[in-house]
């Protein structure tokens, strides 16, 4: 890649490195300069720009990020569309993140231009949470550098995946000594059931017995025979040695002790073993408390079907100091603020405006006009339903009964605008009012743009990042702005005040500092069908 000062007259096709503003134009960094852009810059008296020109062996940042995401993604992970060289890997179903720490390091050591950041290996992750992000730092990378990273990603099983939680049956043996209160055992059982419920498991099958090796061995055998997948032992007295009561009971039952102790505090006195193919855990005393301890780290892996070896346990020391200690300025128990929310995908809804009177189409309601064998509006709805936009609100008005009759049967909220004749803005207000409070933004979509694809929608969502100044995302084709447009929630109040038939496009000019132009691969974002001539041209156009 050639990077540096470039004469404007020679900059066509180059990627702008820094944003430029002038009378009547704003060009953001990352813009691929067109011939029209060159003319605009020249007319503004700008003779030179800082830009990047891709060479023959270079791969554009977005293409590189997309290729890497496909190689890195394992089970229960999906990749967002790439934008500004970033592609986020999102969690599809609840489980435990499996990340090969060694290969993550090897990936990041290939070259400074390509980076991979993940959540901590074995974190419990939720749907729609961000598990990792790929960032290609420059505008493009050499093919050889990309291939070296792909080689690391392809060296073995997927570098990143999510092991889904499974509703495993867990057996719990609790022992008692003279003087042990039943209330303590009851509390331990209740806390354990809370832990299991959090991991989507049923309540434990419990056996209580004396703190005696023979009695515990018999209880373990009963729970194994009852079909328990994981066996837990909670002693009236803490395990202090491999030859103590509970480990001796495991061996008496025909099992074996695999490891005693762990470099996590609280949780040091934990025992790991096996009995007839089942994992057995001797609980540390802290497991009676609902606070997170080393046992929780082991339990969630076992519920996800992941083996926990002695070496795995011995590697838990980094980050394993969970205990609240006086030297910490703000111990967990005294914290005022809730912990930061985990990174997640933005919650982007969509509003489809399908209430217009279709005056320019003549006698035909354009939304019902057939395109590729189905009504025009159906194409828009189906593309959105297949996208990352959720939820979807559809606003009808003119000829509403006929329009609603051709819509899919479910998957969206339907709202009617009786004031449709006053203009598009009244439908926009209805659509926004139908959306939930917890969304981060909304795509405003027109019902007469049948070529808008799922990929276009997802690319707009991928571009959305108000923290980085991308709060309004506008699709473009060869420098021309089109639809749909994605607005952050902060603009909803202003959008509700818009009047007439212009919609919210005026806000784009009023908030130019947070507008992000998102280049697309075809002209679908400019193609709305308003006239019989446009419909005929669409029918004859190649797909």
CATH class for the domain made up of 58-164: alpha beta
C-beta separation of 78 from 106 below 8 A? no
Answer whether residue 329 shows pLDDT above 70: no
Give the separation between CA 177 and CA 99, rounded to whole angstroms.
Answer: 43
Contacts for 499 with CB less than 8 Å, ≥ 6 apart? 423, 425
| Spatial CA neighbour of 145 closest among 218, 67, 92, 208 | 67
Q: Is 526 helix (H, G, I), strand (E, B) or coil?
A: helix
| Spatial CA neighbour of 312 closest among 364, 259, 359, 354 | 259
Answer whether residue 150 shows pLDDT above 80: yes
Give the separation between CA 432 and CA 349, rounded to whole angstroms.
Answer: 9
382 CB neighbour count, 10 Å cutoff: 16
Beta pairing partners, 469: none
Q: What is the CATH number of domain 170-319?
A: 3.40.980.10
Q: What is the CA radius of gyration of the chain?
A: 30
Backbone angles phi, psi at 404, to 5 degrees: -65, -30
CATH fold match for the domains 2-53 and 58-164:
no
CA angle, corner 96, sides to 233 and 221, nearest 5? 25
* Right CATH for 348-540 from 3.30.1300.10, 3.30.450.20, 3.30.9.10, 3.90.550.10: 3.90.550.10
Average pLDDT over residues 489-502: 89
> pLDDT tens digits for 425-481?
999 999 999 999 999 999 999 999 999 999 999 999 999 999 889 999 999 998 899
C-beta separation of 207 from 239 below 8 A? no
Per-residue tokens: 290: 């609902």
- pLDDT band at residue 328, thresholds of 50, 70 and 90? very low
- Predicted local distance difference test score (pLDDT) of residue 107: 98
- Predicted local distance difference test score (pLDDT) of residue 202: 98
Dmax of the chain from CA atoms?
A: 93
- Predicted local distance difference test score (pLDDT) of residue 334: 38
Give the separation between CA 235 and CA 211, rounded to whole angstroms.
Answer: 7
- Predicted local distance difference test score (pLDDT) of residue 364: 83
Average pLDDT over residues 136-165: 97
Detail the DSSP E strand segments found in 54-169. 58-60, 77-79, 86-91, 95-99, 114-118, 124-125, 130-136, 140-142, 160-164
- Predicted local distance difference test score (pLDDT) of residue 336: 37
Answer whether residue 422 shows pLDDT above 80: yes
366 CB neighbour count, 10 Å cutoff: 26
Answer whether residue 113 shows pLDDT above 50: yes
> pLDDT tens digits for 86-97?
999 999 999 999
> pLDDT tens digits for 31-80?
999 999 999 999 999 999 999 999 999 999 999 999 999 999 999 999 99
- Predicted local distance difference test score (pLDDT) of residue 326: 52
Beta pairing partners, 230: 170, 279
Detail the DSSP E strand segments found in 355-427. 370-371, 374-375, 392-396, 413-416
Q: Looking at the structure, give the CATH architecture of the domain made up of residues 2-53.
A: Alpha-Beta Complex (3.90)
205 CB neighbour count, 10 Å cutoff: 16
Tokens 């025992």: give the residue.
271
- Predicted local distance difference test score (pLDDT) of residue 337: 40
C-beta separation of 492 from 442 below 8 A? yes
Tokens 């985990």: give the residue.
342
Which pairs with CB-CB distance under 8 Å and at least 24 residues apart come from 30-37?
A: 30/84, 30/139, 31/517, 31/519, 32/519, 34/478, 34/479, 36/479, 37/12, 37/479
Average pLDDT over residues 313-336: 67
- pLDDT band at residue 359, thresholds of 50, 70 and 90? confident
Q: What is the dihedral of CA 420, 425, 428, 434, to 10 degrees?
A: -70
Q: Which DSSP category does 500 fall into?
A: T
Is residue 112 exposed (0-12), middle (13-18) or buried (19+ Cβ within 10 Å)? exposed
> pLDDT tens digits for 474-495?
999 988 999 999 999 999 999 9
Average pLDDT over residues 510-528: 94
Per-residue tokens: 441: 């933004």
Domain boundaries, the chain: 2-53, 58-164, 170-319, 348-540
With residue 437 as reference, give the H or E element that holds it. none
- Predicted local distance difference test score (pLDDT) of residue 341: 62
Answer whether residue 280 shows pLDDT above 80: yes
Q: Name the average pLDDT for the chain.
A: 93
């Amino acid at each position: 890649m050639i990077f540096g000062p470039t004469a404007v007259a020679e900059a066509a096709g180059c990627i702008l490195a820094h944003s430029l503003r002038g009378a009547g134009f704003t060009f953001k960094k990352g813009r691929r300069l067109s011939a029209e852009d060159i003319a605009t810059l020249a007319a503004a008296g700008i003779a030179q720009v800082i830009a990047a020109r891709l060479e023959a062996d270079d791969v554009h940042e977005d293409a590189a990020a997309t290729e890497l995401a496909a190689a890195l993604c394992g089970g229960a992970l999906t990749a967002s569309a790439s934008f500004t060289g970033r592609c986020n890997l999102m969690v599809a179903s609840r489980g435990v993140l499996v990340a090969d720490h060694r290969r993550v390091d090897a990936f990041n050591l290939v070259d400074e231009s390509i980076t991979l950041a993940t959540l901590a290996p074995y974190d419990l992750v939720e749907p729609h949470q961000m598990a990792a992000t790929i960032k290609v730092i420059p505008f493009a990378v050499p093919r050889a550098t990309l291939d070296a990273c792909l080689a690391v990603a392809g060296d073995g099983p997927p570098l990143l995946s999510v092991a889904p939680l499974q509703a495993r049956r867990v057996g719990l043996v609790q022992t008692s000594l003279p003087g042990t209160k039943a209330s303590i055992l009851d509390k331990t059982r209740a806390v354990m059931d809370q832990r299991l419920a959090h991991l989507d498991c049923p309540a434990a099958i419990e056996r209580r017995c004396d703190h005696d090796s023979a009695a515990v061995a018999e209880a373990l055998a009963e729970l194994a025979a009852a079909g328990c997948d994981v066996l837990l032992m909670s002693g009236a007295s803490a395990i202090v040695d491999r030859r103590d009561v509970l480990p001796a009971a495991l061996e008496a039952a025909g099992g074996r002790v695999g490891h005693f102790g762990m470099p996590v505090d609280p949780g040091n006195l934990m025992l790991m073993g096996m009995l007839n193919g089942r994992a057995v855990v001797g609980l540390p005393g802290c497991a009676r408390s609902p606070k997170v301890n080393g046992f929780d780290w082991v339990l969630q892996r076992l519920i996800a079907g992941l083996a926990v070896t002695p070496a795995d346990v011995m590697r838990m020391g980094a980050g394993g100091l969970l205990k609240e200690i006086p030297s910490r300025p703000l111990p967990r128990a005294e914290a005022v603020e809730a912990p930061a929310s985990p990174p997640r995908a933005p919650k982007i809804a969509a509003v489809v405006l399908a209430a217009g009177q279709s005056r320019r189409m003549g006698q035909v309601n354009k939304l019902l006009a057939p395109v590729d064998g189905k009504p025009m509006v159906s194409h828009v709805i189906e593309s959105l339903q297949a996208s990352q936009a959720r939820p979807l609100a559809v606003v009808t008005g003119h000829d509403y009964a006929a329009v609603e009759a051709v819509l899919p049967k479910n998957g969206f909220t339907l709202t009617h605008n009786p004031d449709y004749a006053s203009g598009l803005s009244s439908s926009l207000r209805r659509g926004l009012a139908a959306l939930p409070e917890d969304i981060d933004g909304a795509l405003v979509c027109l019902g007469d743009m049948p070529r808008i694809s799922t990929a276009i929608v997802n690319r707009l969502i991928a571009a959305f990042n108000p923290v980085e100044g991308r709060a309004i995302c506008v699709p473009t084709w060869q420098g021309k702005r089109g639809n749909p447009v994605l607005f952050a929630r902060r603009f909803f109040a202003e959008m509700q005040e818009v009047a007439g038939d212009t919609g919210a496009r005026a806000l784009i000019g009023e908030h130019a500092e947070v507008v992000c132009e998102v280049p697309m691969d075809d002209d679908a974002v400019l193609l709305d069908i308003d006239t019989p001539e446009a419909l005929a041209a669409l029918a004859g156009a190649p797909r």
